[in-house]
Structure 1
Amino acid sequence: MPYFENAIRKMLPTKYRRKHVAHDMYVAVVHFQSLVPMMGRHVYNDGTTKNLMSLTGTIPVLFEDETYNIPVCLWIEASYPQTAPICYVTPTSDMMVLSGKYISSNGEVMLPYLEDWKKGECDLVSLLQVMVVTFADSPPVCMQPHPEPEEAPCWLQFHRQAEVLPKTDGSLYMNLAGEDGLPFQQENETNC
């Protein structure tokens, strides 16, 4: 058994089918090297939580001739491989979920492959390959739209940096620079 596969096996709680799960996770990580096996706290839709093993990271998806790294998390329950993993796209803070036919608004992946999961016929690598193909046709995330820079308020667009300067007689005058940075002069200037 490869060292990394053995390390995964040691991470798994005894309630898992450790040998089988460790092997499937190892094969998945060999094919999708950005994924990392880890234990974590999964929160179910009803609010209950459970410590589960997961594969977390990114999968490369080709969309319009560009490769994008789509962040995912596959939660693997102790009943695996009898039951399918619970899969999510996990957008970063500058991304947002694009809900649709195969993605819920909270990022849960709902593929026919998961719904029709059969022990002995389905595995993590095949699931990830199905996700790659599906996400290439229908991306599950996109970048958050950045708001357009706001136009400066009208009064600020014409605001010039003014300097208040002392005159030799002790009074003050205001020097207003024009767009060219030179003092603004008009024919009928007055001293106040």
Structure 2
Amino acid sequence: MASYPDIHELLVKSKYRNVDATKKDVMQVLRMYHGLSYVSEDYESTYHIPICIILMDTHPHNAPMCFVKPTPEMHIKVSRFVDHNGKVYLPYLHDWQP
């Protein structure tokens, strides 16, 4: 796992706007899921995939609901993480802890 200075440096280099808050969240996820690692990569292509994140009135006690919201020209690719309605299913959301 990357150390604190490594993650901080990568976030600054990648031009994150809220480096401290992002670093805190990344470190929390890395501590929780030991198989994950943080890597910063440059990509040549940018994909604009519209999503909708709904925060319940009980937030943070209940997980947000997330949906892929395709444009008329797009279609939803159903997978174990996204159903035909665009609802997103992720372990992080399923195991949500405030």
What TM-score does the superposition give when structure 2 sets the normalisation length?
0.55
**Structure 1 or 2: larger strand share?**
1
Residue from 105, 111, 118 that aligns with 2:90: 111
1:80 CA drift (Å): 0.4
For residue 23 of structure 2, what is the aligned residue in structure 1?
A: none
Query: For this pair of structures, how many residues does the alignment match?
Result: 59
Q: Counterpart amino acid of 1:85?
A: P
SS at match of 2:93: helix
| Percent identity over paired residues | 37
Give runs of ≥4 in structure 1 deviating > 4 Å: none
Of 70, 73, 81 in structure 2, the residue corresponding to residue 94 of structure 1 is 73
Provide Cα deviations, 1:125-158, integer angstroms capped at 9, x if missing partner. xxxxxxxxxxxxxxxxxxxxxxxxxxxxxxxxxx
Deviation at 1:65, TM superposition (A): 4.3
* Aligned partner of residue 113 in structure 1, secondary structure: helix
Q: Hey, what's the Cα distance between the residues in 2 that align with 1:114 and 1:92?
A: 24
The amino acid that maps onto 1:82 is H
For the aligned residues, what is the CA RMSD? 2.0
**In the alignment, which residue of structure 1 is the partner of 2:55?**
76
Q: Following superposition of structure 1 onto structure 2, how do residues 122-137 of structure 1 map, counting pairs within 5 Å? A: none
Distance in 2 (alpha carbons) for counterparts of 1:116 and 1:105:
22
The code of the aligned residue for 1:101 comes to: R
> 2:59 is matched by which residue type in structure 1?
Y
- Say which structure is richer in helix: 2
In the aligned structure 2, how far is the partner of 1:101 from the partner of 1:117?
18
User: Which structure 2 residue ranges, 5 or more long, are not aligned?
Assistant: 1-16, 19-40
